[in-house]
């Protein structure tokens, strides 16, 4: 940062040099916010967190599209010795990325094995210019949920400008399906008839898809747009392990028809079981629901059923707390996009 700013001005170089010389060792300068102190009572753990933040500042990244650097680190104790591990984001081609926190955890596994990732990763720190309230993307939530002791995992953001440190629980980014509120056909924002059509359509979708690896958890989803059309998709796996999620699939079909605003989505799993809604799929739904918000429409209702006439309902906003979307990063661009892509039949 200093190099970039100072390159245009010798005066600034002098000021930054003076500041750098007068600054105490940085590990001592990190300061937990008062709300964060209670989450990290242990002095040794605080020291590890501050050490990780110092290291994260130097984590390499390559965000060629967004130019948004995600610099992550942790400290793991292996055989009584502390080791700093780094992670950083890389973006490539169409907007695809290896994300900072997934990169970090994979790096821990590559160096020390999956048991250390599960047992010894107690926190993930991010070195950030400014700490906001957003959590991980849905996919990184799935990954952290799967490979760490997630119920005890702490998420740390160290703010570069003033070295304040905010700590939250990773568990605050999760909402299990059994926390979705119980619903009845006449308590929803769609009619009982529309619910019945969506449920049947999702169940039929689930008969298809590709399940060469997905022996459990296969789901089908159907969504109803404001224009009255139903779109549906089933999960699909492949040899490259680039799973295609059902909610993402139906939303892509709707977007292809320039039918950008959905009222409700129903997801079904195996008869008698509640479907699991991956956080990655919730991210697709959240993004689409942010289109509704932009257009002044109600959020998409996310409805799950056990196939036996029981329902639970929520919204993507509630099912993916502390989420982010293009509506946050580029509100005007999203507004212009939706205005210029209005389908003649979709309202």
Q: Which spans of this chain sit near Zn ion (rule: CB under 5 A)?
A: 99, 137, 140
Rounded least distance, CB 125 to Zn ion, Å: 15
**How does 47-58 read in b/e, with b if 16+ C-beta sit within 10 Å?**
ebbbbbbbbbee
Nearest to Zn ion of 182, 330 (CB atom): 330
Rounded least distance, CB 168 to Zn ion, Å: 16
Return the structure tokens found at 166.
């905010």
Nearest to Zn ion of 42, 172 (CB atom): 172
Nearest to Zn ion of 76, 140 (CB atom): 140
Nearest to Zn ion of 127, 260 (CB atom): 127
Please work out, in degrees rounded to the nearest 5, the angle formed at the alpha carbon of residue 268 by the alpha carbons of 263 and 270. 180
CA distances from 28 to 49, 51, 160, 205, 262 (A): 11, 9, 14, 57, 50
Among residues 128, 133, 122, 136, the alpha carbon closest in space to that of 158 is found at: 128
Rounded least distance, CB 137 to Zn ion, Å: 3
Rounded least distance, CB 100 to Zn ion, Å: 7
Distance CA 342, CA 347 (A): 8
Distance CA 240, CA 231 (A): 26
Distance CA 137, CA 97 (A): 11
Among residues 81, 80, 76, 155, the alpha carbon closest in space to that of 111 is found at: 76
Q: How far apart are the first and last CA of the chain?
A: 46
């Amino acid at each position: 940062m200093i190099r970039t700013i100072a390159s245009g001005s010798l005066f600034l170089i002098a000021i930054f040099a003076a500041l750098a010389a007068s600054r105490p060792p940085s590990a001592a300068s990190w300061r937990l916010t008062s709300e964060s102190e209670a989450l990290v009572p242990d002095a040794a753990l605080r020291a590890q967190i501050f050490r990780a933040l110092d290291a994260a500042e130097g984590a390499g990244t390559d965000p060629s599209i967004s130019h948004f650097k995600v610099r992550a680190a942790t400290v793991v104790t292996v055989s009584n010795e502390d080791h700093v591990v780094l992670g950083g984001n890389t973006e490539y081609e169409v907007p695809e990325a290896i994300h900072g926190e997934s990169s970090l955890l994979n790096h821990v596994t590559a160096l020390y094995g999956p048991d250390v990732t599960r047992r010894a990763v107690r926190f993930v720190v991010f070195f950030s210019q400014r700490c906001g309230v957003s959590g991980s993307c849905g996919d990184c939530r799935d990954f952290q949920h799967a490979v760490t002791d997630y119920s005890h995992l702490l998420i740390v953001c160290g703010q570069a400008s003033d070295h304040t440190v905010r700590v939250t629980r990773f568990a605050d980014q999760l909402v299990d399906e059994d926390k979705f509120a119980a619903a009845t056909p006449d308590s929803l924002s769609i009619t009982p008839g529309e619910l019945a059509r969506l449920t049947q359509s999702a169940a039929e979708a689930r008969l298809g898809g590709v399940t060469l690896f997905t022996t459990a958890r296969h789901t089908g989803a159907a969504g109803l747009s404001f224009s009255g059309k139903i779109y549906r998709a089933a999960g699909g796996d492949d040899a490259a392990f680039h799973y295609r999620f059902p909610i993402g699939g139906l939303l892509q079909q709707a977007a292809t028809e320039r039918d950008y605003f959905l009222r409700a989505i129903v997801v079904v799993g195996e008869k008698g079981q509640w479907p699991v809604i991956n956080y990655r799929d919730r991210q697709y739904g959240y993004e689409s629901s942010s289109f509704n918000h932009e257009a002044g429409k109600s959020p998409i209702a996310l409805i799950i059923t056990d196939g036996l006439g029981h329902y639970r309902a929520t919204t993507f906003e509630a099912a993916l707390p502390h989420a982010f979307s293009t509506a946050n990063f580029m509100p005007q661009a999203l507004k212009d996009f939706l205005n210029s892509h209005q389908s003649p039949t979709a309202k």
